[in-house]
Structure 1
Amino acid sequence: MATRFSLPHIDISANYSSSAYTGEGSGRSNNVRIRDEHAARLQNELDAALAVVDQQRAADPRLPPAQGGYIEVELRRGSSPDILERRTLGLRPGAVKDRQAARLVGLYIPDDAREAFAAILADYRSGPLTPKGEPHHKSTVEPIEAFRRARLETLWTDDPQALPLDPQYQMWWAIWVSRGQELELEDIAQRLRLRAGARDRRLRFPEVVIVPVYATRAEIELMMYATGVIVELRRATDNPSFFVDDVREEQHEWNEELAGRIEWPGQDVPSVCLFDTGVNRAHVLLEPALSIDDMHAVRRGWGVDDHDNHGTAMGGIALHGDLTIPLGDNAPRTLTHRLESVKLLPPGRADPNDPNSYGSVTQSAAALPEIQRPERTRVFCMAVTNDGVSGARPSTWSSAIDQIAAGTMPGDNENSPKRLVVLAVGNTKPVMQFQQLLDNDSYPAQDPAQAWNALTIGGYTDLDQIRGAGYEDWTHLAGVGELSPHSRTSVDWGTRAPIKPELMLEAGNRAVSPSRRDIVTLDSLCLLSTGRDVAAAPLVPFHATSAATAQAARMAAQLTAAHPDYWPETIRALMVHSAEYTEPMKALFAAETNLRNRYDIARRFGYGVPDIDRATASARDHLALIAQTDIQPYRLEGTRKFNECHYYTLPLPAAVLEELDNEIVDLKITLSYFVDPNPGFAANVDPLRYQSFGLRFDLRRKGELLANFKRRVNAAERDVRTQRAPRHPDDNRWLLGPDSISAGSLHCDTWSGPAVDLLGRDVLCIKPVGGWWRDRARAAIVNQRARYALVVTLKARRTDIDLYTPIVLSITPGQAVRNEVLVER
């Protein structure tokens, strides 16, 4: 099909310069403390808390004598728990939680460190002042609000309602331990005759190992009071669910005809690798693109065939898209990608006493096809979610998926690939009565949709045609272009979580009875896909975010096939770059002028609905500038510092923009990179502790001198006597604004305004922010380089405007074109 998007994207990877970078200070103001009063109160509270430690110390013959204990420390909100750490003394901060105006930290104090800790308070209270006139240990003592005795709740960072009150309640606990204390935990579990999850069921991150242990609350408390191995406690809750409605099956006799019109792919093409219930390869529309040796299962005894129909339906959408269209025409079709399948879910109910950690299981699933065909590029696709578990913060499962994407899961090395993982945001509950209907925001996106590096997919709908006897007077629940009734949102996640989902694809609709009493899911409001029962039901209706996720994975594989030299980070960025909002979505944004209130809209719709044509190529009126490069965010030179930023000179067509004058144009910026996750310690309350590194972008503002722009975004560009950055107001034409970026590894915003206002706004800065590479890692880690993808889109509102040609002509020949793009697709 012909498309105006037939021109190669423009490569600007060489259009940047590197510069030394210095970030801003924290800017936090501290309340003035009265030294003597503050230190005296803290010492009294510390003595009382340690006295409780001694009283609660368990004298269990199965365990060696305790060598220390936990207390709870209340810090000013936003204070780093690192101020409490003294590695030489064995002082080790662990679980961190934010509560209203305070931050609570579990602190382990060895017995032989008590005097030294008390000496810190005494030195602060009455010791001589520093040459700057400040008390010693000010940065440690003044952020402390209180010391208290520790309880099991101190180390519990999961949903408070999920912590059992009954001392004899037995369940799987996720015990977080420091990397060097895994063997000690195993020894304690063995002494107490507790069942610890096998080593292949544990997740390993840079600082912690997560070990599932089956125990009662009383046994966990015994472990806490008798040892110092526990850093943090959560539920081992990985209980996956997916959504398959029992809908009326529809029969078709056109499968063979369609299969005959398809040019099937060879072996050396990208694949969509499904993590699901298996696939029935016998289907005529699947078999030529799914080899038997590309079918796997995480447990050999499960077999590789589909036991549920969900995996086969996912496969049909991931390979062909909605089959309604190709079955209804007679056009030839060419497939540029294949399928792979890993059965992730067991044929029967999972054993509730099996310490299944779906983080480690998913990592095992990712390794299987790579072992079979290491040379193949692939997109991993999973529509499995953790039933009833919100994704508001990193979990063991979402962190494991972030490791898969970053190429840092166990067994990976510096040569391991980065990987694109596509996830579902999760589905709402399929209520049947209208009076039970809740809005989509009442259903928070489910774990592991919060994975930073994954591309998370929600659902919208364009389906509004109701067909079927007895439903003539029924109406569609959602309007065309609106949020699908099946899709969850991340509105209730708060500001410290990434914006999820990023993209919206067709997820189907539901129908409402004339009396507004009943709600049903009808075949005509679903997509059409391949069925597991190839004899009786070869075609089945398919809907919800599973269908949307399969479509997104298909698009990612098509894009990978069209651009084999693009990184997974770039594929993700291009899909987001191609996304646009439907008219109902645009109307909601336009009606809300407060940027902060727009964040909730973004948490419903992400960045819009993607388009394969816009993602694959540019048009004269709508083009993409692309950069793929790496950066060294930090360096270790005596102290840990920021290292560099990148300044891009954007080849904006000044003459055309001046001629357009007040005509509206759009400039969209998407920055994509993969972080190495570190979910331990304070990562659940501080995004900068979770990410290995972070990046942000800043565009030169209207009328801003270039030198002032650099001084504003980079303290290293300022005169040493200048303490403050030069101020230059922005024009407030961004859709979301910089405050919308607090977490995640994909950042996107769109500037819309008069073309003439873009004149002079041709410099973009990519700069680092904090991450655990800088704060807690060895020198070899601090000095690492990290790669990122940048996509800058310039779009006119009229198709007869040529923005593309003057940009290409302004770039040195040979820089602009990376790939030949077919004029027709």
Structure 2
Amino acid sequence: MEVVGRPGEAFLPSKFDVSGLALLNVRDAEPDSEVPGRAIVKASKSAGGLTKLREKLDQFATEDGKPNNQGQTRPKNADLANSIDTIAQAGLRDLWRHPNKPFPLSAGPIPWEVWLEPREVDQFVARAVQEGLTVYPDRLEFPEDTVVLVEGDIGQMARTAVGTGSVRSVSPPGIPIDFVDGLEAEEQADWLQDALGRTQYGPQAQQATSYVTLLDTGITLAHPLIQPAFDAADRHAAVPGWDLADLHGHGSRMAGATLFGDLRTHLNSIAAIYVPLRLESAKVIPDAGHNPHHLLGDRTQKAINAVEVEPDRLRTFALATTTDLDTPHSGAPTSWSTELDQLAAGRSGEVKQRRLIVTSIGNIDAQHDGNTDYLSKCDDLDEGEVQSPSQAWNSIAVGAMTEMDGVGGPTHGATLAEVGDLAPMSRTASWTKTWPIKPDVVLEGGNWYDDGLSTTPNQHSDLMLVTTSRNYPARSFTHISDTSAATALASREIALLRASYPDLWPETIRALYVASAQWTDRMWSHIAPADRNRKGAYDVMFTRYGYGQPNLERALNSASSAITLIIEDSIRPYEKKGSGRKLNEMQLFELPWPTNALRSLVGQDVSLRVALSTFIEPNPSEVARGRKSRYASHGLRFALKGADEEIGAFTKRVGRTAVKDQPDDNGPDSGEWDFGYNRRSVGSLHIDTLTVAASDLARRGVLAVYPVGGWWKENRTVDPERCVARFSLVVEIDATEVEVDLYAEVQQKVAPQAEIQA
């Protein structure tokens, strides 16, 4: 049914999300407009949904409700009835899921991504075959939906949808963007031999063997710089029978950047080169054409399944392909991004284990006017929004920045991006609330330049990273740039971090790496100094740069004046209460705070950075669009005790905050944090910083982790025994501006605890 609200009355779609009725799609009334709210509601015949709705409307016409405190009565079910203008049978067009692309009008067969109730898949498939639709074997399983791919014309799809009543929504399947080889560098075989002679492969002392798994076009085995880190047995494909070689070149370019970073730095040096990482290849891009009639999430899952025949390796998955067919999505989940969330959380794939997944955010069209401000193009909703699947909550999404300015070359002085700013082709997020901060981080992606003649920007070898070519021995080196280059570099650094700390959870590695990021001086220049106390001014920073440029050394090491504390734990966020559920528990941590060292810093400020990381289980039901508590299985937040706050008062404050999922105006959290409660409380990775007097921080060594809403709480059918949320808490105290040894005091407090646990 299509239920249209009454203009001027509050629209109450939650009234239709009850026994016998299912809310499939909601569009709220437009503010300051006569356009009413609208909902698509499915009435279950077996549960008597339509009969129950008729009864409620009949009661409105004939019965009075209970009197209020003043003894006044209203008709029964008045709120429900007054919110309804019309109810009509919904058609296929009403089930269209895409946020921006119009409903198709093609007369011929087209592919459809069909979202179904899981228990009604067989019924739908039988009717679809009867109507002449082609039903593909791909499936994606989510908590409230099963996604099936079919192909047929609009009439066939409409008759199947209306005839079965099983379809919750339909959308177009995504298609990944083409890759285009970059410009070639001058080939010099002696450079290759020189570099190979200086290269040592294999993990260093105290490091574990860490793999980067490239979900790409394949990797060449022939290249001498790749071969020692890549076994023939580690080549796989999403589809059995695909050629395992790299015929496009993109995967081999990613491989070189993953192993070496920018090869230019090594080719111009005589120093030894260390390659501690190994590679795996899981081909997801066909050699001919695209994946036009397959669910991209299913293809990604199959590629990961193929690799995990060796399930126990320490892996970082890198996916540098995106789709633009659902842009702009304004941060809402797609089937592909949701499958990445399931794979990261260990709810999907043949091996049920947590995974670290790194994705690129995609590039804008290089044919924009190169003489205009490129940042305005990157920020444009229609042209520049990050592409699917990079909006996945649990993955690390990577954008591109640049420090290349072509000094000494023909492009010097004509580059589009200033040193330290966004790379010219990197996309950005368009949203500032509800959905996660994306990108998470930005790394080197090269620069573009204006030659003064062309109306479009230009690439040049001076402004790109040097990497390995698939065409060896004809060509040894080529170039890589934009968000693919940045994704390769991020995957490399994350894999190195995993090699150094192999026992840390994927959630912890993500928190350590992303929390190490900082905005460059050039990025900061986009906020006027007078606005830096206004939290809304940070929106441009998050949507362009995420948390900034990561610092691997900072993630790896705790210096004496900057210490990092790590907690890995779990929480049962909800408990049963009658037929429903309520918030269950919070975790309080009394940290081994360097109290004496902090108290010694009279009149000095120190900074605190907290990162809370958890992997949510996703539920991409259409009604969850725009409602983060319906997409995520659970939500976790953190809070810090005030300097003069008693523990009892602190826990009560946190309890009030948890129920409303908003800052407590009476507590210290209300304004002292740099980013603020609302800004950090999105997605499944929450990071914030504050700068306070050292003596003040000395009295604040208690942190709370607590739950807020999620679909585990709302969905009564999910097994409550498995609703346990694992999380990582990373706390960094930084006093680098003053001379003090924080590390020694913390080490003294931690050592006895470690002995007791041992």
Report the TM-score, using the length of structure 1 for normalisation.
0.83
CA displacement, residues 609-662 of structure 1 (integer Å, 9 cap, x when unaligned) = 112211112001111110011111111242311111111223333333333234
CA displacement, residues 306-352 of structure 1 (integer Å, 9 cap, x when unaligned) = 11111001001111211122233333343332100011101111374
Match of 1:261 among 198, 202, 212: 198
CA displacement, residues 31-68 of structure 1 (integer Å, 9 cap, x when unaligned) = xxxxxxxxxxxxxxxxxxxxxxxxxxxxxxxxxxxxxx
Match of 2:42 among 99, 104, 108: 108
Does 2:493 match 1:559?
A: no
Give the match for residue 249 of structure 1. Answer: 185
Tell me how large the CA RMSD over aligned residues is: 3.0
In 2, the alpha carbon distance for the partners of 1:78 and 1:206 equals 30
Equivalent position amino acid for 1:269 in 2: T
Give the match for residue 476 of structure 1. Answer: 415
In 2, the alpha carbon distance for the partners of 1:186 and 1:265 equals 51
Does 2:160 match 1:223?
A: yes
Query: How far off its partner does 1:772 sit?
Result: 1.3
In 2, the alpha carbon distance for the partners of 1:376 and 1:810 equals 34
In 2, the alpha carbon distance for the partners of 1:523 and 1:457 equals 22
Give the match for residue 21 of structure 2. Answer: 91
Q: What SS does the aligned partner of 1:669 have? A: strand
Shift in CA distance, 585/231, structure 1 to aligned 2, threshold 3 Å: same
Matches within 5 A, 1:614-653: 614-638=554-578, 639-653=580-594
In 2, the alpha carbon distance for the partners of 1:430 and 1:614 equals 34
Give the match for residue 464 of structure 2. Answer: 526
Matches within 5 A, 1:27-38: none
Q: Is the 8 A contact 1:560 1:571 kept in 2?
A: yes
Does 2:5 match 1:71?
A: no
In 2, the alpha carbon distance for the partners of 1:211 and 1:185 equals 10
In 1, the alpha carbon distance for the partners of 2:356 and 2:15 equals 37
Equivalent position amino acid for 1:178 in 2: E
Give the match for residue 682 of structure 1. Answer: 623
Query: How far off its partner does 1:234 sit?
Result: 1.3
Query: How far off its partner does 1:680 sit?
Result: 1.1
Matches within 5 A, 1:467-546: 467-468=408-409, 471=410, 474-490=413-429, 492-514=430-452, 519-546=457-484
Matches within 5 A, 1:127-526: 127=63, 129-130=65-66, 141=80, 144-149=83-88, 150-165=90-105, 168-198=107-137, 201-236=138-173, 238-252=174-188, 253-265=190-202, 269-350=209-290, 352=292, 355-371=293-309, 373-390=310-327, 391=329, 392-412=331-351, 416-431=352-367, 433-435=369-371, 437=374, 438-442=376-380, 443-468=384-409, 471=410, 474-490=413-429, 492-514=430-452, 519-526=457-464
Shift in CA distance, 77/322, structure 1 to aligned 2, threshold 3 Å: farther
Match of 1:576 among 514, 520, 529: 514
Q: Is the 8 A contact 1:708 1:726 kept in 2?
A: no
Query: How far off its partner does 1:84 sit?
Result: 1.5
In 2, the alpha carbon distance for the partners of 1:99 and 1:426 equals 33
Query: How far off its partner does 1:797 sit?
Result: 3.7
In 2, the alpha carbon distance for the partners of 1:472 and 1:484 equals 15
In 1, the alpha carbon distance for the partners of 2:346 and 2:29 equals 35
In 1, the alpha carbon distance for the partners of 2:64 and 2:385 equals 53
Shift in CA distance, 394/601, structure 1 to aligned 2, threshold 3 Å: same
Does 2:633 match 1:692?
A: yes
Does 2:533 match 1:597?
A: no
CA displacement, residues 785-810 of structure 1 (integer Å, 9 cap, x when unaligned) = 12111111111242633222222223
Q: What SS does the aligned partner of 2:752 have? A: coil
In 2, the alpha carbon distance for the partners of 1:485 and 1:263 equals 35
Give the match for residue 9 of structure 1. Answer: none
In 1, the alpha carbon distance for the partners of 2:269 and 2:756 equals 35
Query: How far off its partner does 1:92 sit?
Result: 2.4
Q: What SS does the aligned partner of 2:271 have? A: coil
Q: Is the 8 A contact 1:71 1:109 kept in 2?
A: no
Equivalent position amino acid for 2:584 in 1: N
Shift in CA distance, 190/327, structure 1 to aligned 2, threshold 3 Å: same
Q: What SS does the aligned partner of 2:687 have? A: strand
In 1, the alpha carbon distance for the partners of 2:297 and 2:720 equals 24
Q: What SS does the aligned partner of 2:719 have? A: helix
Between 492-501 and 586-595, report the one with greater CA deviation.
586-595
Q: Is the 8 A contact 1:773 1:782 kept in 2?
A: no
Equivalent position amino acid for 1:665 in 2: V
Equivalent position amino acid for 1:732 in 2: G
Q: What SS does the aligned partner of 1:423 have? A: strand
Report the TM-score, using the length of structure 2 for normalisation.
0.90
Shift in CA distance, 393/81, structure 1 to aligned 2, threshold 3 Å: same
In 1, the alpha carbon distance for the partners of 2:4 and 2:542 equals 36
Query: How far off its partner does 1:274 sit?
Result: 0.2
Query: How far off its partner does 1:117 sit?
Result: 1.4
Q: What SS does the aligned partner of 2:281 have? A: strand
Any unmatched runs of 5+ in structure 2? none
Between 540-549 and 252-261, report the one with greater CA deviation.
252-261
Q: What SS does the aligned partner of 1:597 have? A: helix
Between 447-456 and 604-613, report the one with greater CA deviation.
604-613
The aligned length equals 730
Q: What SS does the aligned partner of 1:588 have? A: coil
Q: Is the 8 A contact 1:489 1:603 kept in 2?
A: yes
Q: Is the 8 A contact 1:155 1:233 kept in 2?
A: yes
Any unmatched runs of 5+ in structure 1? 1-69, 719-723, 820-825
Match of 2:684 among 741, 745, 754: 745
Give the match for residue 652 of structure 2. Answer: 711
CA displacement, residues 179-202 of structure 1 (integer Å, 9 cap, x when unaligned) = 10000110110110111221xx12
In 1, the alpha carbon distance for the partners of 2:606 and 2:420 equals 23
Shift in CA distance, 323/93, structure 1 to aligned 2, threshold 3 Å: same
Q: What SS does the aligned partner of 1:434 have? A: coil
Structure possessing the higher relative contact order (Cα contacts under 8 Å, 6 or more residues apart):
1
Q: Is the 8 A contact 1:271 1:379 kept in 2?
A: yes
CA displacement, residues 198-245 of structure 1 (integer Å, 9 cap, x when unaligned) = 1xx121111111112212223333233333111112112x11015435
Q: Is the 8 A contact 2:181 2:250 kept in 1?
A: no
Q: Is the 8 A contact 2:128 2:135 kept in 1?
A: yes
In 1, the alpha carbon distance for the partners of 2:564 and 2:10 equals 39
Shift in CA distance, 473/713, structure 1 to aligned 2, threshold 3 Å: closer
Give the match for residue 17 of structure 1. Answer: none
Q: What SS does the aligned partner of 1:661 have? A: coil
Q: What SS does the aligned partner of 2:547 have? A: coil
Q: What SS does the aligned partner of 1:409 have? A: coil
In 2, the alpha carbon distance for the partners of 1:79 and 1:403 equals 33
In 2, the alpha carbon distance for the partners of 1:386 and 1:264 equals 35
Q: What SS does the aligned partner of 1:233 have? A: strand
CA displacement, residues 515-549 of structure 1 (integer Å, 9 cap, x when unaligned) = 68552111111111111111122111211100100
CA displacement, residues 647-678 of structure 1 (integer Å, 9 cap, x when unaligned) = 12233333333332343321111111111111
Query: How far off its partner does 1:281 sit?
Result: 1.2
Q: Is the 8 A contact 1:473 1:514 kept in 2?
A: no
